[in-house]
Amino acid sequence: MKQFGLGIIFALLTSSANANSKADEVLNGYINAWNSHDKMRIASFYAPNVTWYDLTTDSEVTSKKNVSKAITDYFMGYVDDMYWVKNGDVYISGNTVAYEWIYGGTFNGTWGDQEITNKVFSLKGISTTTINENGKIIEHKDYYDMESFKRGLGVTL
């Protein structure tokens, strides 16, 4: 009976470790897709019913088509050389990964009525990404300080 109980515990731990490994593997692929600047490759990570929540704008976008466009326009629209890297702690619970990151690059565009040219910036944040059983992202949430981003760009408040 002891061996049976230990076998079940081992199976559960192995299953949990495999789920954690899969979630981290998907997340790493997703971040690599962003760093390739390939919008179609980024979109390939989303489930049809994906939801993206952005705390700084307190907005939520749903569906693969809408999220793909909104999130890439938002983070790549004025930053052709953008980069995104995991930095710091990573926590995995089931099929959700919470992680610290740095996003940066060179901003060239308009912010409100201000034209910004060649402004190098770096921004720290935290995200959670939830992945379904098919290895597709079903929920992504971003948390970062927009005011420090604006200050970094030299945008007057």
Q: Residues of the chain whose pLDDT is less than 70? A: 1-20, 156-157
In tens, the pLDDT along 32-60 reads 999 999 999 999 999 999 999 999 999 99
How far apart are alpha carbons 124 and 102 in whole angstroms? Answer: 5
pTM value is 0.84
How far apart are alpha carbons 71 and 84 in whole angstroms? Answer: 13
pLDDT the model gives residue 7 = 46
φ and ψ of 101, to 5 deg? -150, 165
Interacting residues of 95 by C-beta distance below 8 A, sequence separation 6+: 19, 22, 23, 130, 131, 132, 133
- Domain segments of the chain as ranges: 2-153
Span 2-153: which CATH code?
3.10.450.50
